[in-house]
Amino acid sequence: MRAMVLEEQRGALHLREVAIPVPRAGEVLLRVTACGICRTDLHVLDGDLTHPNLPLIPGHQIIGEIAGLGDGVTQFTAGQRVGVPWLGGSCGHCGYCTHGRENLCDEARYTGYQINGGFAEYTVAAAAYCFAIPAQYSDQQAAPLLCAGLIGYRAYRLLESCETIGLYGFGAAAHILIQVARHRGQKVYAFTREGDTDAQDFARQLGACWAGDSGQFAPVLLDGAIIFAPAGELVPQALRAVRKGGRVVCAGIHMSDIPSFPYDILWGEREVCSVANLTRRDGEEFLPLAAAIPVETTVHLYPLEKANEALDDLRHGRFNGAAVLVP
């Protein structure tokens, strides 16, 4: 099969012919039909995430058709369409796992990082960490829901009671989450890279009541904010933008160092917290919700062999919405 392979960090992906993997007990073999591209993929390539299993096939927003079943798999059938997210496995017996917080498991393994992912024609995945995909979505439209959607939703759940929400970084996750927030009647304020008027216009089209540069302040104090951009300097900026009692959620897996800031912008019972990965419950809740709203994803398609081009376009903000590879 064809696959885009990372052989060393800080290098390009290479198109290689590799063997089709064989599913082990508890796994499914998938014929990949679409795989979303995520900023986490950039963090893997750039060396920000330091323990990839090289050589590695990246990609963790996978949509595929089941082409084979490992021993013991009973919840899916051959030919069924499923999605594979970032969290690819956990120990199942630690305190985190037994309390529904497998996202924090110290032995967790991640798709497209320690487990070969979806930048390929076939992949294997643990059946217990796969999700059925709502029928109304095409493969390409569904792919961004598996990370931008799921991890974004986990961050959003911490702000469900807020009336006004700021989104810092208006990329794949924000363009999904704004639709959830607007559906629930919340007011959304979008913050982008300086001068990115295309992204600001895109945010307004999706229902933002204001959009501007990340160094600006919204015309009102916010009840909460989610930072999707991997820029630590946005933490004190967001703290200054939320009212007393407000919460700032850091939603990325990697962020540059947070600069020191005066205590008075945290005082007043403001909070800063992070979200890590996702749980299976997140998928079980979010995917039906996305279909019911319905959330519509804006996708930009690239053939598998153009993965490096797609990643470069993501790095430089050359599109709105999400990028998706099609084998």
Q: What is the pLDDT of residue 99?
A: 97
Q: Do residues 104 and 279 touch, judged by C-beta distance below 8 A?
A: no
* Low-confidence residues of the chain: pLDDT under 70: none
CATH class of the domain comprising 150-274: alpha beta
DSSP per-residue string spanning 79-129:
T-EEEE-SEEE--SSSHHHHTT-GGG-TT-EEBTTTB--SSBSEEEEEGGG
Classify residue 104 by burial, with Cβ atoms within 10 Å: 0-12, 13-18, 19+.
Answer: middle
Quick: pLDDT tens for 146-161: 999 999 999 999 999 9
Domain boundaries, the chain: 2-147+278-326, 150-274
Q: What is the pLDDT of residue 28?
A: 98
CATH number of 2-147+278-326: 3.90.180.10
Which amino acid type is present at position 194?
A: E
Q: What is the pLDDT of residue 265?
A: 98
Q: What is the pLDDT of residue 72?
A: 97
Which residues pair with residue 110 across a beta bridge? 87
Residue keyed to tokens 């933008």: 241
Q: Which two tokens stand for residue 252?
A: 């990325």
Q: Do residues 304 and 326 touch, judged by C-beta distance below 8 A?
A: yes
Q: Which two tokens stand for residue 294?
A: 């319905």
